[in-house]
Amino acid sequence: MLAGMLLGLLSMIAGIGLLALAGWFISAAALAGLTAGSALAFNFFYPSIGVRIFAIGRTLARYAERIVSHDATFRILESLRVWFYTRLEPRVPAVLSGYRSGDVLNRIVADIDALDNFYLRVLSPTTVAVITALLLALFLWWFDPLVSLTAFGCLLLAGFGVPALAYAAGADSGRQMAQHAADLRVHIVDTVTGLSELLVFGGRRHAIEPPMRASHRLIKAQRRMSRIRAGTSAAGVLISGLAMLGVLFLGVRLVDRAQLQGVNLALILLAVLSAFESVAPLATAYQYLEMTRTSARRLLEITAAPPAVGYPQTPAARPPHFGITFENVHFQYAGRAVPVLQGIDLHIRPGEKVAVLGVTGSGKSTLVQLLTRFYDPTSGSIRIGAADIRAFSEPQLRSWISVMPQDVHLFNASIRENLQLAAPGASEADLGRALATAQLSTFVENLPDGPDTWIGASGRLLSGGQARRLAAARLVLHDGPVWLLDEPTEGLDTLTARRLTAALLARAGAKTVLWITHRLDGLQRMDRIVLMEGGRIVEQGSHAELLAHRTRYAALYAGRNLWRQMPEMPPHR
């Protein structure tokens, strides 16, 4: 950044020197040409060399300044994106759940891009303008203090007075532009993402209204900013003209009194004129400064929010076993009046396979969120082995727990790359075994490029069931000692669901398994079944134990069998 400012200053000095010396050279040559003697005596070599040096120096300095300044700016933006992302990770999903995905995308791309305005258009040009004005004042003082003060005062007025007015006038519109631009991008992302549904339900007209309103508001703010920019540009030109008139008036008087040579008056006038080039861009830069500050505030709004969990600097020792204990666990999401979990007491022995059954909203998936430490319990504790999970570092916890989430995300890449997310060093044999466990071997083998087949954004080229089985293969590849599966058979037909359940449990072996589901198929394979209702455990036991008594599970299981035994209904006419 300092190198860019220095090169910008050298470019400005060379530009002033070029115009001032050229003006003096032309004036001096014209004066020397009045007589043959003065023409012969006039040394035009040194001034012409000076003009060439200033011209070449200005070109080289400007070129180097552009390279260095933009390189510095891109490096700053790169580091800002890394900084923002590293602070984003600990806030997922607790903090980001309150933001739309398009809004987060806008902040990490457009808002960070807007910050380049500060260095390129505010900080560096302001520094160059201040030093240029001071150097010019010192240079002109050598000719006449009053001329120096006049030029310096006009430069201050054009370089700092007008930008201050531009900032005040453009602050409100700048804030609106940043917000309206963000709203427009969010609406566009939502509209494009849901385009298929809009076409199916004929909702195009309704969906296009929000982005159109945001676009009109943005254009309205841009028009106001354009008027302000026109006014401040005119004010800058007016002040530079007044400065020229003032310096010309004072200079003519000095020439008339023989206190200043006539050729030096041209030098002074053109030096003052070219110096205004250093302050000309400041008004527009400060006019948009509030827009830059708004973008910065939007970034800090997310990064300043405290993360939901924290990890210790010194990790605990590896537990002797991987049994899991929930002890009097209560949990309530922020902003919700009703607790999700209320007094959960559950002990899962090492290597035990436990299914948690319940209707939607009973708190099943929250157990996974707490075990993976996306959230911490409101009260109570969760232990792996004998240690509280808050004693483990994040790398430890992530390496020990393999998760198949309810909402599967597949990246815009190949099947192989999506699988290697869980195990970057997985061999071809490892991938094959994982796909076989997930009942995907035949499907992948019949693809045009096998595991290297591209599956599209969010895995759109796969069906919902294939996407879930790919997530199951990813879990198998990760192969931690604890497996958490949230609705692993959702979206699968009964036969495939049974095969997948059997294959996963066989592959799990001695691993501790927590199986979240609302389906009754395959639960007889579990060591224990836990039934949840309203955030509480209402009963638990093995499949045989629960069926042997008049339990809620037995009623649910009997109802399922009764439904299967119902005769097929005649077709509706």
CB atoms within 10 A of CB 83: 13
Superfamily of domain 324-565: P-loop containing nucleotide triphosphate hydrolases (3.40.50.300)
Q: Exposed/middle/buried for 59, CB within 10 Å: 0-12, 13-18, 19+?
A: middle
Give pLDDT, residue 138: 93
* Residues 54 and 14 sit within 8 Å (Cβ to Cβ): yes
- Give the whole-angstrom CA distance, residue 305 versus residue 89: 12
Q: Is the pLDDT of residue 561 over 70?
A: no
* Residues 475 and 422 sit within 8 Å (Cβ to Cβ): yes
Q: Which residues in the chain are classed under CATH 3.40.50.300?
A: 324-565
Structure tokens at 39: 């023409």
Give pLDDT, residue 237: 92
Superfamily of domain 2-298: ABC transporter type 1, transmembrane domain (1.20.1560.10)
- Give the whole-angstrom CA distance, residue 80 versus residue 102: 19
Q: What's the pTM? A: 0.77
| Per-residue pLDDT band at 572 (split at 50, 70, 90) | very low
- Give the whole-angstrom CA distance, residue 294 versus residue 313: 34
Mean pLDDT of the chain: 88
Instruction: Bin 475: left if φ > 0, else alpha if -120 < ψ < 50, else beta.
Output: alpha
Q: Which residues in the chain are classed under CATH 1.20.1560.10?
A: 2-298
Give pLDDT, residue 401: 95
- Pick from 19-28, 320-329, 388-397, 496-505: least confident: 19-28
Q: Calculate Rg over the CA atoms of the chain.
A: 36
Which is more confidently placed, 119 or 346? 346
- Pick from 95-99, 187-191, 280-284: least confident: 95-99
| Per-residue pLDDT band at 560 (split at 50, 70, 90) | low
Give pLDDT, residue 304: 87
Structure tokens at 126: 């302001």
- Give the whole-angstrom CA distance, residue 267 versus residue 264: 5
Q: Is the pLDDT of residue 335 over 80?
A: no
* Residues 73 and 119 sit within 8 Å (Cβ to Cβ): yes
For helices 162-193 and 289-303, what crossing angle results, to 10°? 50
| Per-residue pLDDT band at 243 (split at 50, 70, 90) | very high
User: Which residue has 């830069």 as its token pair?
Assistant: 285
User: Which residue has 């800090």 as its token pair?
Assistant: 300
CB atoms within 10 A of CB 14: 20
Nearest Cα to Cα of residue 541 among 530, 533, 552, 550: 530
The model's pLDDT over 410-440, given as tens digits with 9 standing for 90+, comes to: 999 999 999 999 999 889 999 999 999 999 9
Give pLDDT, residue 564: 44
Q: Is the pLDDT of residue 285 over 50?
A: yes
Q: How far is CA 553 from CA 144, 367, 502, in A?
A: 100, 20, 21
The model's pLDDT over 160-188, given as tens digits with 9 standing for 90+, comes to: 999 999 999 998 988 888 888 888 888 88
Give pLDDT, residue 454: 93
* Residues 316 and 387 sit within 8 Å (Cβ to Cβ): yes
Mean pLDDT of 295-319: 88
Nearest Cα to Cα of residue 406 among 468, 464, 353: 468
